[in-house]
Amino acid sequence: MKKDDQKLLKALLDGELPDESGRFGIFGGQYAPETLMPALKKLEKNIKIFLNDKAFQEELMSELNSWAGRPTALTYASQLSKKWGVEVFLKREDMTHTGAHKINNALGQAMLAKKLGVKRIVAETGAGQHGVACAAACARVGLPCTIYMGAIDIERQAPNVDRMKQLGTEVISVLSGDQTLRAAIDEAFRDWVSDPENTHYILGSVVGPHPFPYLVREMQSIIGKEARRQMLEIDQRLPDAVFACVGGGSNAIGLFHAFLGDLEVELFGIEAGGTSNDLGENAATLASGKPGILHGTYSMLLHDDDGLIQETHSVSAGLDYPGVGPEHAFLQSINRVQYTSAKDDEALELLREVCENEGILPAIESSHAFVEAKKWANENTGKRVLIGLSGRGDKDMPTLSKLMNK
Amino acid sequence: MIGGKYIEEKIRAPKEPGPAIVPFITAGYPNTKDFKQTLYEISKKADVIEIGVPFSDPMADGVTIQRSSHMAIENGVTLTWIFNQLNEINLDTPIVLMSYLNPLYVFGMEELVDASLESGVDGFIVPDLPIEESKELNQRLTEAGLALIQLVTPATPKDRIEMISDQSRGFIYAVTVKGVTGGEGALSADVTEYLKQVQEISKIPVCAGFGIREKSDVEMIADYVDGIIVGSAIVETIEQGNSPTEFLDRLKN
């Protein structure tokens, strides 16, 4: 890393970023409609209070442990290790309650919302994992919840839709825009704008206007803190490389953060490479996007020469998003994290390999991280890798069944 | 005269008695060939014309503007196309572009000022650009005499209305409801209190928008504002093939 980049990294680790204006370097900010500004400022103020409040932190930790199933296991993947010629460790967010890392953020924000005294929760969901996590967390804290979900996603993630309804949540099908995650976020914002004082919007990823990228990262950083401690407990050795999939990027930020200061640890974020490198056939924002503004934040973005946001494609609904968290754009710009992509078929192939060798069914999203880890292992025999297994693949069974019966 | 001063003057001295009328139309909707003709026609009644630049993710808009924006994109409408069309006509009415930030950002700030001066665009309304983020654009536009029109809403605290009013040029856009454009419900009774407050604070004209659909809405707020902005209702009128000028006539008479 260059000296200037190291300085910026230090500022991030010292808590100086995001700065007063909600920026990580040039990325981030608060590009929100005026109606939301008072609510965002209020949220900013309350985050400062509650994230530093010992009683709230203890209450949250107790719920994370006794209700959400933390700490999650660190699994040594013995078969993959043998096959790949490296030591493979998996951080098992798939073992949390509701089956993915999303619960860390949903529970934390729902408890925060309860403290703020709001009357209802809105949220968006892509794969349905964040929706299910919100539905469960809202039931737990006693707040009514409305989830916006794109019509296309409702079809490809059907089991999760019924789970949300079972948990007492209202699921609204979004027929506008591209009918996936991006349109669902648009719609959740529209709902929030109509009653910002009494509603809290639980954004599901490290995107959106400040303070969301910061808030969600704080809620997810427990993943990396646990994983780093668990690795050291084994033999006082850190991994040589860490891999996580990136859509909006919340599980990756959560896993990376504890390792950012360990410069000897290489960090890899893997985006959805879809079917090809052409615009519209993938969701590889950091690899092929340009800076722009969407959903309240300045970050890397897939958009055309007229500034219109592009349709994306990925076999995994959770990575199917044309933007990415501003902190990822920042980490890329200072060369601390390398971002690559994995194609649909590569991810599905690794999903099968993990199933057959380790008896674990990863989400299609998480399978993207395994693709890059395997490639890296090929050239780094004897090293140690840590892979973020962000969620379980049960929700992908409709997609997987279709492929199996082809 | 151009820009903020020109807009202010036209709103202070409307073509017909009563509040100034600021219609909004989505560029190139329902089709591209009638765009210039529609502009000519509504300029007979309009004191300022607001033109919507279509965007793929119109976060602050309700179903009508979402639909028109989507169709306009399908019709090939871009910011460049809009500037080219405006270059071909000459209106006696100030033009304001309503655009989300990303199309403007991609176009380039310097190019935006040049193209505006050349084609007769006087100002901009950017719904996802609060004052915290508007410094650069505001500075560039102000230097060229162009207006960045800022918004206030019923959720905006008093001290913030003051800050926004100091930075706004042309007029202040007072959003009348919480929520997105095109609301169906009637304006709430306390909207007049809110508009009175904005009017008291502001040194430049105040125009109210969001959810204004008919004469009774205009009558309710006419005494508290300098102008009214009507968007979804006129877009629906054009969509149904009816005359926008007759619609504008009915708002006042």
ipTM of this complex? 0.95
Residue B56: pLDDT over 90: yes
Nearest CA in chain B to A36: B155
Q: What is the mean pLDDT of residues B13-27?
A: 97
Please state, rounded to an integer, the average pLDDT across all residues of chain A.
96
User: Helices B63-74 & B232-239, crossing angle to 10 degrees?
Assistant: 50
When CB atoms are compared, the residue of B62, B151, B178 closest to A195 is B178
pTM: predicted TM-score of the whole model, two decimal places: 0.97
Under the banding of pLDDT at 50, 70 and 90, the label for residue B185 is low
State the pLDDT confidence band at B103, using cuts at 50, 70 and 90.
Answer: very high
pLDDT of residue B182: 79
pLDDT for residue A42: 94
Catalytic, A124? Answer yes
Query: What single letter denotes the amino acid at residue B29?
Result: Y
Q: Nearest residue on chain A to B126, judged by CA atoms?
A: A33
B183 pLDDT more than 80? no
User: pLDDT value at position B186?
Assistant: 66
* pLDDT for residue B180: 84
Tell me whether residue A194 is one of the annotated catalytic residues.
no
> Residue B95's pLDDT band (boundaries 50, 70, 90)?
very high
Which sequence spans correspond to the domains of chain B?
3-247
**Lowest-confidence region among A119-123, A315-319, B49-53, B143-147:** A315-319
pLDDT at residue B89 is higher than 80: yes
Which residue is catalytic, options A63, A93, A124, A346?
Answer: A124
Can you name the CATH fold of B3-247?
TIM Barrel (3.20.20)
Q: Mutate which of B63, B71, B128, B162 to test chain A, going by most A C-beta atoms within 10 A?
A: B128
Rounded to the nearest 10°, the torsion over CA A149, A151, A152, A153 is 20
Residues B225-250, mean pLDDT to the nearest whole number: 95
Which residue among the candidates B8, B50, B122, B226 is catalytic per the annotation?
B50
The CA distance from B98 to B244, in Å, is 19
Would you call A34 and B153 a contact, using CB atoms and an 8 Å cutoff? yes
Number of A–B residue contacts, CB under 8 Å? 111
- Which of A181, A306, A309, A312 would you mutate first to test chain B, the one with the most B CBs within 10 A? A306
Q: Average pLDDT, stretch A274-303?
A: 95
* Cross-chain Cβ contact B155/A31 below 8 Å: no
Distance CA A39, CA A199 (A): 9
pLDDT for residue A156 = 79
DSSP A167-204: TT-EEEEE-STTSSHHHHHHHHHHHHHH-TTTEEE---
Contact A137, A98 (CB under 8 A): no
Catalytic residue among A299, A316, A333, A390: A390
Interface check for A378 against chain B (CB to CB < 8 A): the answer is no
Residue B151: list chain A partners with CB under 8 A: 33-34
- Catalytic annotation on B74? no
**Residue A315 in this model has a pLDDT that exceeds 80:** yes
Residue, of A68 and A403, whose pLDDT is higher: A68
Q: Which residue of A has its CA nearest to B157?
A: A38
Confidence bin at A301 (pLDDT 50/70/90):
very high
The answer, for A113 touching chain B at a CB cutoff of 8 Å, is: no
CA nearest neighbour of A112 among A44, A172, A171, A165? A44
Residue A403: pLDDT band (50, 70, 90) is confident
Instruction: Kindly report, residue by residue over A108-150, the tens digit of the pLDDT.
Output: 999 999 999 999 999 999 889 999 999 999 999 999 999 999 9
What does the pLDDT average to over A186-204?
94
* B180: closest CA of chain A, how far (Å): 6
φ and ψ of A392, to 5 deg: -90, 160
Residues in chain A within 8 Å Cβ distance of B58? 186
Contact A308 B103 (CB under 8 A): yes
Q: How far is CA A274 from CA A8, A125, A310, in A?
A: 32, 20, 14
| B-interface mutation test, from A190, A192, A303, most B Cβ less than 10 A away | A190
Q: What is the pLDDT of residue A337?
A: 98
- Torsion A244-A249-A254-A257 (CA) sign: positive
Q: Does B66 touch chain A (CB under 8 A)?
A: yes
Per-residue pLDDT tens digits for A322-371: 999 999 999 999 999 999 999 999 999 999 999 999 999 999 999 999 99
Confidence of residue B211 (pLDDT cuts 50, 70, 90): confident
Predicted pLDDT at A67: 98
Nearest to A30 among B104, B105, B132 (CB): B132
Of A91, A102, A374, A395, which is the active-site residue?
A102
- Res A404: pLDDT: 82
CB B8 within 8 A of CB B171: yes
- Residues B137-152 have pLDDT tens digits of 999 999 999 999 999 9
A307 to chain B, any CB pair closer than 8 A? The answer is: yes
A309 contacts B102? CB cut-off 8 A: yes
CA distance B229 to A269: 47
A299 CB neighbours in chain B (<8 A) are none
Residue B176 CA to residue B130 CA, distance in Å, equals 17
- Strand ranges in B53-126 using DSSP code E only, listed in sequence order: 95-98, 123-125
Nearest residue in chain B measured CA to CA from A192: B179
Closest CA–CA distance from residue A48 to any residue of chain B (Å) = 20
Per-residue pLDDT tens over the stretch A75-113: 999 999 999 999 999 999 999 999 999 999 999 999 999
Q: Nearest by CB to A33, which of B60, B78, B157?
A: B60
pLDDT tops 90 at residue B92 = yes
Average pLDDT value over all residues in chain B: 95
